[in-house]
Structure 1
Amino acid sequence: MAQVLTILHAGALRMPIAQCTKLIKKLYGDLDVKLESYGSRACARQVREGKSVDILALADPVLFDKLLVPEYVANYYIFGNDQIVLAYDEFSRGSEEITAGNWFDILQREDVKFGRSDENLDPCGYRTLMVWQLAEKYYGRPDLFARLNDRCTGDKIYAKSSDLGSGILEGKLDYAFSYLCVTKQFGLKYVTLPERINLSNPAHAAYYQQASVALKGKTAQENTIQTGAPIEFAIALSKNAENPVMAKAFLDLVLSKQGQQVLENCGLIPY
């Protein structure tokens, strides 16, 4: 009977996790790998509510610290980083003129629709809100955060970052704030934002800390403050793993040179 390996991961990691799954199945032919993806905060919440998984891969190591260690995960491993970009395609309104110096003006046009992910479900969501806060300071545009926030509501807020690419391709959105790796996976065009606001460079960590977002805590009655920091991705073995041997084999693969090459091919910067 085939062994089963259950992996719960951030939607942004869909492609690299799928590629690593193909590699481990070549090594262990009788292995049945089950993949599920959600926003990283939603993933963490499911584990806290009793979901049984072998591997957990999230888009922010802080979630392990705040929600999962030590009850559900003993430790975790940071394996790569990324940046927030503004994704679009050739049909997006204003796409022929948008740049890193005017994107905030394009997005405020009446006919332009842009989206982000939900900050309480997905780290890309709260990171997007941080980017807007930092952009207000960086470009010297008072009320920029409030203006962008007021225009991005309702059905323009998606459950996870990987849904945003589909929103653009389906014509529901002109633009979306997403990870570079996800944007590349969808083959979309993008505006690269300045390093001081795109959360990519550890050298600007102190600057990023000027941004913060209030989020739901461990329970519905609690709130927690998330402070700006460089984007990082992390992976861990679950304490309730039903197949700890194969889980460790998968973890080792992701952290190996072969796994790091997969991450790089998918648009991440491996550590």
Structure 2
Amino acid sequence: MHTRDGTSGLRRVSRRTFLAAAGGVSAGVVGLAGCLGTSDRVRVLAAGSLAVVLEEHVGPAFESETGTGYEGEYHGSNVAMRMIEEGTKHPDVIVSADVDLLRDRLYPDHATWDVEFAANEVGIAYEPETELGARLAAGDPWYEVFADADDGEVAISDPDLDPLGYRAIHLFDLAEREHGLEGFRETMLERVYREPDEPRLLAGIEAGNRACAVVYRNMAVDHDVPFLALPDAYNFTDPTAASQYAEATYTTDDGYVTEGTPAVYNATVRADVDAPDAGLAFVSFLLEQRSLLEEHGLRVTDSLPRTHGSVPETIEP
């Protein structure tokens, strides 16, 4: 596993230095886009939790700025990694919701570098008109509310398909340890509904069919639904709690062993892509969108961006 403290080739750089080296805020991206040759689009395979911000905001802004078309496809990150490994998808850019997942699954055959560009927070979205949602809104401890839930009232993303799903299980595990809730994790796994399509995780709440869902903060912001923030002990936002997060594990159905980690996104250009310039232009552009990403519920801390591996000269500081 790779650490986030400067080991395993990870380098922290200031945002100003990084963007200057990548070519500047706007002129550099335009200049890079001008080197795309016959490439008139960039194909991006990204984590489902970024579907709204990439498809409706970053992608169109990139098209307007560079004249290069944007094509996005969104799945759970584990599904996306399988697609790359199996050769069923051939995107220019890959964006993962789990830094280690991308590195463990794609290095060295399909990727040799990546850039961490944004962080997220795991919490609970809820419908306040339901009994469980009303209790959350009233301040009842969330784990007591969840313990009283009927089968299917609480939704999580499928843990075998994407990091948000297995982070929900990590959350149940860590909360059990934090609050002395014997058997809480297993009880929740027996009761939750597992949504196989991450971008649709909030559909049940919006339709009034489910009371709660374990989601990323940006998803609640994008869908304008109430969001209950959780303590740093298990919301996966605190880098100093990484060792505590790592105490929780889950093994996916294809045998990949996950550990709890801070929720951070990384992006790369596929190593075997025929024409990488469009992908490099998009990654450079993405790194400039701090305000846009934060507006849609993501976190871009002073420690970001961080690079890892053999980053191309057009991006590497």
| Fold shared per TM-score above 0.5 | yes
Structure 1 residue 245, shift from structure 2 partner: 1.2
Give distance in 2, aligned partners of 1:199 and 1:6: 29
Which consecutive residues of structure 1, in runs of 5 or more, have no partner in the other structure? 218-222
After superposition, the Cα gap between the structure-2 partners of 1:92 and 1:243, relative to the gap in structure 1 and judged at 3 Å, is: farther
Look up the match of 1:215. Answer: 252
3-state DSSP of counterpart to 1:269: coil
Give distance in 2, aligned partners of 1:2 and 1:224: 35
3-state DSSP of counterpart to 2:256: strand
Cα contact 1:161–1:182 (8 A) shared by 2: no
Give distance in 1, aligned partners of 2:198 and 2:208: 16
Give distance in 1, aligned partners of 2:175 and 2:76: 24
Cα contact 1:214–1:226 (8 A) shared by 2: yes
Look up the match of 2:144. Answer: 105
Structure 1 residue 10, shift from structure 2 partner: 0.7
Cα contact 2:95–2:268 (8 A) shared by 1: yes
Moved beyond 3 Å, runs of 4+: none
Cα contact 2:150–2:191 (8 A) shared by 1: no
- Whose Rg is larger? 2
Structure 1 residue 224, shift from structure 2 partner: 2.8
- Counterpart among 252, 271, 290 of residue 260 in structure 1: 290
3-state DSSP of counterpart to 1:197: coil
Look up the match of 1:231. Answer: 263
After superposition, where does 1:183-194 map in structure 2 within 5 Å?
183-194=220-231
Q: TM-score, normalized by length of structure 1? A: 0.90
Give distance in 1, aligned partners of 2:77 and 2:257: 16
Look up the match of 1:220. Answer: none
Structure 1 residue 216, shift from structure 2 partner: 3.7
Give distance in 2, aligned partners of 1:39 and 1:228: 17
Matched, 1:39 2:71: no
CA-based RMSD of the aligned residues comes to 1.7
3-state DSSP of counterpart to 1:94: helix
Structure 1 residue 2, shift from structure 2 partner: 7.3
Structure 1 residue 54, shift from structure 2 partner: 0.5
After superposition, where does 1:12-161 map in structure 2 within 5 Å?
12-18=49-55, 19-29=57-67, 31-50=68-87, 51-98=89-136, 102-111=141-150, 113-152=153-192, 156-161=193-198
Structure 1 residue 172, shift from structure 2 partner: 2.5
Give distance in 2, aligned partners of 1:145 and 1:254: 37
Letter in 2 for 1:45: R
Structure 1 residue 15, shift from structure 2 partner: 2.4
Identity %: 23
Once the two structures are superposed, residues 12-61 of structure 1 have per-residue CA deviations (whole angstroms, 9 ceiling, x without a partner) of: 011232222112111233x3321110100001111111121101111011
Letter in 2 for 1:33: Y
Which consecutive residues of structure 2, in runs of 5 or more, have no partner in the other structure? 1-37, 305-317
3-state DSSP of counterpart to 1:121: coil
Q: TM-score, normalized by length of structure 2? A: 0.78
Look up the match of 2:277. Answer: 245
Structure 1 residue 143, shift from structure 2 partner: 0.9
| Number of equivalences | 260
